[in-house]
Amino acid sequence: MAAGRGGGKIRPMTKTLYRCLLWLLPAGLLVLWLFFPLGGRTNILLLGLDRRPGEGDMVRADAIMVITARPTGANEPALGLFSIPRDLYLPIPEQGENRINTAHFFGELDRPGSGPERTAAAITQNFDIPMDGWVRLDFAAFVGLIDAVGGLEINAPKPVFDYAYPTQDYGTMTLEIPAGWQQMSGERALQYARSRHGSSDFDRAERQQLVVQALIRKLAAPSFWPRLPVFYNAFTRLVDSNLSFPQLARLGLAALRVGPDGVQRLVIDQDWVTPFTTPAGAAVLSPRWELIRPAAKEMFDLPSRVP
C-alpha cells in the first residue's frame, strides 16, 4: 500500500511531529499506567483465517495464537506468544470433540459472528487460560498490515522450500525462502508464515511467531512512531477485533517495557502431542496435558488445575 511506504528526507514539519511523538507516545503510556488500571494480564486470541477473496466468515482458522501481556504488577513485565496446532483434537463447547480449528467454522455456522468466541471458549475450557479479547484477519488483511508498516525484517533460522505453495487461483507454485536476515513484504511474509509443504505445522507455528515478533519490533521502534497512525488506520480498516483501547494500551506498554527481544515464545510441538486417527478417519493430534499445562501455567501465571 502506497500510504504505508516511507522513504526520502524528513520535511521540517515532519521532523517537528517526529520529535513530539518521540516524547508523547511514552509519556502518554506513562499517564495511562499511572491513572488507569493497566496492570494485570491481558490475553488476546489471534486468529488467522483460511479465507480467500469472496469467501465469508464461515471458514476454519489457519493459525491460532494467544498473545499475553502483563505491563505492570508484582512480577516483571511480560509479553508472550503461545501457538496451538490447528489439528489439536479436544472438547469444544457446544460442539463436542473435534480439531480446534473447526471451532471458528461451527461457531459462525451456529451464530454468525461467534467464531472467535467459540474458539476462545475452547481454549479457556482446555488450557485454563482466561481470554480477554480477540483479533481475526485473513490473508489479505495480513498482507495489508505488513505493507502498511513498510515490510518487516525477519531472521529466518532455516530455509523454506515448498513444492506446492497454494496460490489465490487455487493452483500451486514452488516457493524458496533462504535462511538469514531479510526484508519481507506483506506477500513474502505471508508465504513465510503459511508454507507447510516440506516442513510441519509445528515449524509453521514457529515462523508465524517470528513474523509477529518482527511486527512488534517494528512498532516498538521510536523511528517508526510517526507512522503509527498509518498502521492504526490499516488495522481498523482490515482487521476484525473486539479489543478495547485499554487492552491495546496494555499490549503497547508491555511491548515497550519488555522490548522485542524479551518476547516469550511457546509452541506446542510434536513432543507434546500424540498423533492418532479418529473413527471417521481424520488424522489429528491428541494433547499430552502433562507436558502442555505446566508450560502454559508458567507463561500465563495460571493457578494449579484442580483435578
The model's pLDDT over 169-184, given as tens digits with 9 standing for 90+, comes to 888 999 999 999 999 9
- pLDDT of 120 strictly over 90: yes
Mean pLDDT in residue range 199-219: 94
Domain 2-300 has CATH 3.40.630.190: yes
- Give pLDDT tens digits for 80-104: 999 999 999 999 999 999 999 999 9
Nearest by Cα to 243 from 42, 49, 32, 66: 42
What is the chain's percent helix, strand, coil content, to nearest 5? Answer: 45, 25, 30
**Pairwise CA distance, residues 26 & 149, whole Å:** 20
Specify the pTM.
0.86
- The whole-number pLDDT of residue 102 equals 96
Q: Where are the domains of the chain?
A: 2-300
Mean pLDDT in residue range 193-199: 89
**Pairwise CA distance, residues 88 & 127, whole Å:** 12
- The whole-number pLDDT of residue 141 equals 94
Phi, psi (deg, nearest 5) at residue 134: -150, 155
- pLDDT of 63 strictly over 70: yes
- pLDDT of 2 strictly over 70: no
**Pairwise CA distance, residues 86 & 60, whole Å:** 9
- Give pLDDT tens digits for 218-261: 998 888 888 888 888 899 999 999 998 788 888 888 888 898 88
